[in-house]
Amino acid sequence: MKPDNKLKKTLTGIKSIAGQRETVKRILGLIGRYRILVFISLLLAAMTTALTLYIPILTGNAVDCIVSEGEVDFSGLLAVLLKIAAAALFSGVFQWLMNHINNKITYHVVSDVRVKAFNHLEELPTAYFDTHKTGDIVSRIIADIDRFSDGVLMGFTQFFTGVMTILGTLFFMLYINPAIAAVVVVLTPLSFVVASFIAKRTYDMFRRQSECSGELTAFADEMINNIKTVKAFEKEEDCRERFGEINGRLSEYSQRATFYSSITNPATRFVNAMVYAAVGITGAIAAMAGYISVGRLTSFLSYANQYTKPFNEISGVVTELQNAIACAGRVFELIDEKTIEPDPERAMELSEVEGRVDIEHMYFSYVPEKPLIEDMNLKVNKGERVAIVGPTGCGKSTLINLLMRFYDPVTGKISIDGTDSRNIKRASLRENFGMVLQETWLKSGTIRENIAYGKPNASMEEVERAAKEAFADAFIRRMPKGYDTVIGEDGGSLSQGQKQLLCIARLMLKIPPVLILDEATSSIDTRTEIKVQSAFAKLMEGRTSFVVAHRLSTIKESDVILVMKDGSIIEQGGHEELLERKGFYHKLYMSQFAAS
């Protein structure tokens, strides 16, 4: 291996260990919120362990009661057996309570993490979702947290009792015979060395497994959402190959992770078998020499067996915890993502909005190396209809994103009624902006719930009136249950045009002072579009409106038409005025209507 590769691998390993420790620290912090339940769980674990370890002593006493023929102490034996039964009963009850509390702690912690991750998701900037795959985000919140849950649960149920069992059995073995117990103490570190050696190699594999699982989820989500396009272009085979490639990597990482983790148990079992054999031989020699009774030797062998068993269980727990820590690390990465800039302390609430919009020397780019909008200046008066036209990629939708504060300008500013939009609370600003996009979005639920999404307390009469104004009432009433018809995710079986009409109805229900229509009628038939445009014309009266359109026939009546190209406004004016200039707008218009 080259020196550079060795150094890179070493640095990666150090970074991985540091990240692992930080993740463990954060997990312990989350568990610490339930310290009272943890204390009760530890107390129950101690009581369970103590009773379990008391049974071998009683068993040894029972053996000594029947050590030779004709010398059976039946009364003493019965008393010992009753004690064994009572110890086993109480041990079982305490263990059940401990498991119940451990489940409660685990699912509280997991619920806290999931809620925190989802709440954080809603505070992330739009740029995060533009640069990360949806499937991977979903995988972190669902699959990774589920695996984290399994690891934490196993850690609680087996780790604590395992450690206490080891300490307890060691104490009793030292009490019974320190010399034989010394054999156990000398050989014990071998189990720790083996488990530690393997654990270090499993974490990286589990980490890669989680990342690859997220990639596979993202790809499957992408293909399912776009299955019609895949079929239309006959790309099924390409999708199978891509899926097979990702699935192959996932299988490889999973097998490696499973291989390394599966070595732990046999390796520790081998070491533990050596310990048990050494105890058995040493104890037999001591019993023959008269240093220990047969009953005490029976108890000692039982303790030796119980002493080694937790090492096998803990090795399994360590493996599961490695997976849990790797998954938790991915979730914490999401939670640590930088949130959107909070509103300033003195940010104001908009009231009685007139709808004046001023853009002054605004610069913006999604990527610093690729400028998009440069030195844009615009003044929109109250109640003006502003149409935005231009070729694809010129910055029309970007301008809408900036108006809605999904992004903020790099330099310059956008003012609403004379106030810099960055000094207005986002919620207040968006409350006063109504938007219908070309890309429709509907949630799973009834048609009524979707129309009333922005105004949940709207009456049925208001919902129906909004649907009629959007010319959606007719098709809604033909649905099986009318307005109470349940539609699936993203509109289910509704046509694209029907989805868009419902989105328009959603706007009609809650009419704000400023309207943004981004190709709002692109999926509607011409006859319905004419009706909807007429409804929009009434809606826009007295309201500031921004209309993005490719069909120039729909914007003739606009007060101002902004012609954008390469992120700049190159022409500005009314429809007739721009045609007379014979500029870029004239070319766009003539390209659509040259035939007529």
Rounded CA separation 11/7 (Å): 6
Amino acid at 144: D
pTM for the predicted model, two decimal places: 0.68
Residue 93: predicted pLDDT? 92
* Structural domains present in the chain: 16-335 (1.20.1560.10), 357-593 (3.40.50.300)
SS (H, E, C) 72-133: CCHHHHHHHHHHHHHHHHHHHHHHHHHHHHHHHHHHHHHHHHHHHHHHHHHHCCHHHHHHCC
Backbone angles phi, psi at 564, to 5 degrees: -105, 145
| Displacement of CA 147 from its chain's centroid (Å) | 12
3-state secondary structure of 194: helix
Contact status, residue 73 vs residue 133, Cβ threshold 8 Å: no
3-state secondary structure of 455: coil
Beta bridge partners of 362: 376
Residues whose CB falls within 8 Å of the CB of residue 426, separated by 6 or more in sequence, listed in order: 343, 405
Amino acid at 494: L
Residue 576: predicted pLDDT? 86
The DSSP result for 379-412, as a single string, is: EE-TT-EEEEE-STTSSHHHHHHHHTTSS--SEE
Residues of the chain with pLDDT under 50: 1-4, 6-15, 595-596
Backbone angles phi, psi at 345, to 5 degrees: -60, -35
Contact status, residue 510 vs residue 454, Cβ threshold 8 Å: yes
Rounded CA separation 295/280 (Å): 13
Of 434, 429, 435, the closest CA to residue 347 belongs to 429
Residue 189: predicted pLDDT? 66
Residue 19: predicted pLDDT? 65
Residue 595: predicted pLDDT? 47
